[in-house]
């Protein structure tokens, strides 16, 4: 069992999460998330969980495990909200390591932006003009021109999010794969994407970027008017999520394949 002496509580600003935090106020002697806790308890939805994880990456504290409880809508990255026996639940929780993507986006103005992405990196057309993209994998051009609304690269943890909505594959945790999924491809129309080893380096060049502008989004961070985007896994910044054994993330991802 896990023993966590220093526990921090981070809370979404929504009314439901704030009310739950009030119920937990006297449960432990909470410390601040900035004060080197052994575990972080996050109250909110999936968006708040992503925000919490990105804050940890920015503060270079990715090794602190996070136990989330859902006070949002979907809560795929969260456990069920229950006040009872929270200490025991955290102690019995099953850890899952999530490896983020690293995005390096170069704008048409030459500026370079680097951001992590826990779910996916997506490229999207900015106007009514389709995006024309050249895709390179491990320095080899695999698609000289993809005309589409966009394309995305998703991690296993993010494969059930935007990637699934774009008809991409669900990737089990530990599969060692990433998904490369087109968004409304026009040419070649029948291309449905690719499953790549997670050691692959994906580079996407925007063709005719001035006429057909494209933005890129790493989870919630957007860069507009990009010329190229380079994407790879960042194993130096792995994150740990904690789940109730009966609510484990790997099983939930697997079962998503059987939901009609």
Is 47 annotated in some ligand binding site? yes
Q: How many helices (H) and strands (E) does the chain have?
A: 5, 16
Number of other residues whose CB lies within 10 A of the CB of residue 253:
20
Task: Indicate if 46 belongs to the active site.
Answer: yes
Is 123 annotated in some ligand binding site? no
Pairing of strands 39-44, 66-70: parallel
**What is the Rg, in whole angstroms, of the alpha carbon atoms belonging to the chain?**
19
The beta strand positions in 169-243, using DSSP E, are 177-187, 194-197, 202-206, 214-218, 221-223, 226-233, 239-243
DSSP secondary structure letter of residue 237: G
Rounded Cα gap, residues 130 and 101, in angstroms: 26
Name the nearest CA neighbour of 77 among 259, 250, 255, 204: 250
Is 196 annotated in some ligand binding site? no
Is 149 annotated in some ligand binding site? yes
Is 146 annotated in some ligand binding site? no
Is 165 annotated in some ligand binding site? yes
Is 228 annotated in some ligand binding site? no
The position carrying tokens 């494969």 is: 159
Is 138 annotated in some ligand binding site? no
Is 164 annotated in some ligand binding site? yes
Q: Is 213 helix (H, G, I), strand (E, B) or coil?
A: coil
DSSP for 126-139, please give it.
SSSSPEEEEEEETT
Is 119 annotated in some ligand binding site? yes
DSSP secondary structure letter of residue 91: H
Q: Among the options 46, 85, 219, 244, which is catalytic?
A: 46
Q: What are the residues whose beta carbons fall under 8 Å from the beta carbon of 255, sequence distance 6 or more?
A: none
Report, as residue numbers or ranges, the catalytic residues: 46
- Binding residue positions for NAD(+): 46-47, 119-120, 149, 157, 160-165
- Binding residue positions: 46-47, 119-120, 149, 157, 160-165
């Amino acid at each position: 069992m896990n023993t966590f002496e220093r526990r921090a509580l981070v809370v979404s600003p929504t009314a439901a999460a704030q009310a739950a935090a009030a119920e937990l106020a006297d449960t432990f002697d909470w410390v601040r998330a900035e004060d080197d806790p052994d575990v972080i308890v996050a109250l909110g939805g999936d968006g708040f969980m992503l925000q919490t994880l990105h804050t940890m990456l920015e503060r270079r504290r990715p090794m602190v495990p996070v136990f989330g409880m859902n006070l949002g809508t979907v809560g795929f990255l969260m456990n069920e909200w229950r006040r009872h026996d929270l200490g025991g639940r955290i102690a019995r929780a099953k850890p899952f390591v999530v490896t983020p993507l690293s995005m390096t986006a170069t704008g048409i103005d030459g500026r370079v932006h680097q951001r992590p992405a826990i779910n996916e990196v997506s490229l999207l057309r900015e106007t009514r003009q389709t995006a024309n993209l050249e895709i390179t994998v491990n320095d080899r051009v695999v698609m000289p021109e993809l005309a589409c609304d966009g394309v995305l690269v998703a991690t296993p943890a993010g494969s059930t999010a935007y990637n699934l909505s774009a008809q991409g594959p669900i990737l089990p945790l530990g599969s060692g794969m990433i998904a490369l999924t087109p968004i409304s491809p026009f040419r070649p129309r029948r291309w449905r994407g690719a499953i790549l080893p997670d050691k692959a380096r994906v580079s996407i060049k925007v063709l005719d970027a001035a006429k057909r502008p494209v933005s890129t989004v790493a989870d919630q961070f957007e860069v507009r008017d990009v010329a190229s985007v380079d994407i790879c896994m960042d194993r130096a910044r792995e994150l740990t999520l904690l789940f109730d054994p009966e609510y484990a993330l790997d099983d939930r991802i697997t079962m998503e394949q059987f939901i009609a």
